[in-house]
């Protein structure tokens, strides 16, 4: 691939925080049909329910969470392999959530995906040249007589022998197959790559090679990444910003330094407590493990209010009645928790969070619908109750 094929990262970025992708209240519910001749919808699986985030142009956002939380579904929605139930997805300033297949076709080359399994994602009956060259032919990126030359260039970019274009996937190792998948994704010179667990099926030694390859590709071509994974160590190495997902919702999003050193949501704290700390182990120390009680609720019938409350040690009555909003508590830090400020050292800036329409115990007043009013955006809560109809918590300027 020549220098003229893809605009360098320095030219594409513009502002370092300019988003290439803006997702707002993205929702995907899969209907559950009854059995029988007349199949009726009797419920739905709420796989993704009101997710919002941004991916910086030329940057990388990590999306983490336990299996079944909706990470992969979110990635497939962005690539429009799934049609969203509702919500907005703006790619490069253009709304893509409502586009049909014909309207999406010109954008397919700009949004590509790296799949999790390097074995099932490659057609075993096709050669590497056919697998990598098919996108070029479908989108007519290069003349037919130059397809083979471009395939060889792409294989060289991902660290494979260009002369292996006529081999079949079964002749390669797992790491080499994933490199073939990356070459296929790069073939159309995308602006955004959705990497769905790109190294989870690989050996640890191969994981490092593939992650380093993705970093090199990002720096050289200025490609933005939505990096989906459950390995928090890999995400910390690759992504400057990380979003934590639980049961279809994002519960915390922050820059990696803040998230890994000062997590505010109890679910994020529990996830990070399970990550081995090599530095502590070297000096004989040991990180305290936070063990979550109970099982993950079903996405068919998620808990009311906060979806994490059934496993949260800090849950109160208000958590069952009012869904916590994703609040801005720092420059690049958002948390969805009513009591985030009561779980550790917090910034010194004050916050006022009011849940209107409920009394002190969280019960609805006069049938009112609970609403949230935020007048300041940094935590450090202390209990103050000023009105039976208003739950108000203000900081004491901890710092």
Q: Round to whole Å and give the CA distance between 218 and 2.
A: 15
Q: From 3.40.50.300, 2.60.40.10, 3.30.70.20, 3.20.20.10, which CATH number describes the 9-34+41-239 domain? A: 3.40.50.300
pLDDT in tens, 99-124: 999 999 989 999 999 998 888 999 99
**CATH 3.40.50.300 domain range(s) in the chain:** 9-34+41-239
**Does the pLDDT of residue 341 top 70, yes or no?**
no
Q: How far is CA 319 from CA 308, 336, 345, 358, in A?
A: 9, 11, 22, 12
Question: Which pLDDT value is given to residue 365?
Answer: 54
pLDDT in tens, 218-231: 999 999 999 999 88
60-64/241-246 β-pairing:
parallel
Mean pLDDT over residues 17-46, rounded? 90
121 HSE (CA, 13 A, CB side): 23
pLDDT in tens, 53-88: 999 999 999 999 998 899 999 999 999 999 999 999
pTM for this prediction:
0.78
Mean per-residue pLDDT over the chain, rounded: 81
Mean pLDDT over residues 200-214, rounded? 86
Question: Which pLDDT value is given to residue 156?
Answer: 92
Confidence category of residue 10, pLDDT binned at 50, 70, 90: very low
Mean pLDDT over residues 371-375, rounded? 46
CB count within 10 Å of CB 171 equals: 11
Token pair listed for 346: 């917090």
**Does the pLDDT of residue 207 top 90, yes or no?**
no
The full DSSP string for 241-278 is: EEEEEETTEEEEEEEHHHHHHS--SHHHHHHHHTS--H
Of the two residues 259 and 36, the one the predictor is more confident about is: 259
Question: Which pLDDT value is given to residue 293?
Answer: 82
Q: Round to whole Å and give the CA distance between 384 and 45.
A: 39
Q: How far apart are the first and last CA of the chain?
A: 52
pLDDT in tens, 154-197: 999 998 999 999 999 999 998 899 999 999 999 999 999 999 99
With CA atoms as reference, report the closest residue to 374 among 359, 395, 399: 395
Q: Round to whole Å and give the CA distance between 250 and 244.
A: 6
**Does the pLDDT of residue 249 top 80, yes or no?**
yes
Token pair listed for 23: 């997702």
Residue 303 is classified by DSSP as P
Answer for the pair 292, 308: CB distance below 8 angstroms, yes or no: no
Question: What is the dihedral angle through the alpha carbons of 344, 348, 350, 354, rounded to the nearest 10 degrees?
Answer: -10
Q: Three-state SS for 186?
A: helix
Q: Round to whole Å and give the CA distance between 184 and 168.
A: 14
The whole-angstrom distance between residue 222's C-alpha and the CA centroid of its chain comes to 19
With CA atoms as reference, report the closest residue to 13 among 222, 255, 225, 239: 222
Token pair listed for 347: 């910034």
Q: Which of 62-71, 136-145, 362-371 has the lowest mean pLDDT?
A: 362-371
* H and E: helices and strands count for the chain: 12, 16
Confidence category of residue 285, pLDDT binned at 50, 70, 90: low
CB count within 10 Å of CB 338 equals: 26
**Does the pLDDT of residue 348 top 70, yes or no?**
no
Q: Round to whole Å and give the CA distance between 338 and 346.
A: 14
CB count within 10 Å of CB 62 equals: 26
**Does the pLDDT of residue 135 top 90, yes or no?**
yes
Question: Which pLDDT value is given to residue 37?
Answer: 81
Of the two residues 39 and 56, the one the predictor is more confident about is: 56
Of the two residues 13 and 105, the one the predictor is more confident about is: 105
For the purposes of burial, counting CB atoms within 10 Å of the CB of 398, is it exposed (0-12), middle (13-18) or buried (19 or more)?
middle
Q: Give the whole-number percent of the chain exceeding pLDDT 90.
A: 59
Question: Which pLDDT value is given to residue 397?
Answer: 33
Question: Which pLDDT value is given to residue 18?
Answer: 78
**Does the pLDDT of residue 350 top 70, yes or no?**
no
């Amino acid at each position: 691939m020549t220098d003229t094929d893809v605009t360098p990262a320095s030219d594409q970025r513009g502002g370092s925080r300019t988003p290439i992708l803006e997702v707002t209240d993205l929702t995907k519910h899969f209907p559950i049909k009854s059995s029988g001749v007349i199949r009726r919808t009797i419920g739905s699986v709420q796989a993704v329910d009101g997710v919002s985030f941004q991916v910086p142009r030329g940057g990388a956002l990590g999306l983490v969470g336990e299996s079944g939380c909706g990470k992969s579904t979110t990635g497939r929605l962005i690539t429009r392999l799934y049609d969203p139930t509702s919500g907005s997805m703006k790619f490069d300033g253009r709304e893509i959530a409502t586009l049909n297949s014909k309207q999406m076709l010109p954008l397919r080359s700009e949004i590509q995906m790296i799949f999790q399994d390097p074995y099932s994602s490659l057609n075993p009956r096709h050669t590497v040249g056919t697998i990598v060259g098919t996108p070029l032919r479908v989108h007519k990126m290069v003349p037919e007589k130059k397809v083979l030359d471009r395939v060889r260039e792409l294989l060289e970019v991902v660290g494979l022998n260009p002369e292996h274009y006529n081999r079949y996937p079964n002749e390669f190792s797992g790491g080499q197959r994933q490199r073939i998948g990356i070459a296929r994704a790069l073939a159309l010179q995308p602006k955004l790559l959705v990497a769905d667990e790109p190294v989870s099926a690989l050996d640890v030694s191969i994981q490092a090679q593939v992650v380093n390859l993705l970093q090199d590709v990002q720096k050289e071509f200025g490609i933005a990444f939505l990096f989906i994974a459950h390995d928090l160590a890999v995400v910390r190495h690759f992504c400057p910003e990380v979003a934590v997902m639980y049961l279809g919702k994002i519960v915390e999003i922050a820059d990696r330094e803040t998230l890994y050193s000062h997590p505010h949501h109890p679910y994020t704290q529990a996830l990070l407590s399970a990550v081995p700390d090599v530095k502590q182990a070297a000096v004989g120390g040991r990180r305290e493990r936070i063990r979550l009680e109970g099982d993950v609720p079903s996405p068919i019938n998620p808990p009311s209010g906060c979806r994490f409350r059934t496993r949260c040690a800090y849950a109160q009555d208000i958590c069952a009645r009012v869904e916590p909003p994703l609040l801005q508590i720092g420059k690049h830090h958002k948390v969805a928790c009513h009591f985030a400020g009561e779980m550790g050292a917090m910034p010194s800036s004050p916050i006022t969070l009011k849940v209107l329409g409920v009394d002190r115990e969280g019960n609805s007043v006069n049938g009112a619908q609970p609403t949230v009013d935020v007048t300041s955006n940094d935590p450090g809560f202390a209990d103050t109750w000023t009105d039976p109809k208003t739950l108000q918590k203000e900081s004491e300027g901890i710092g």
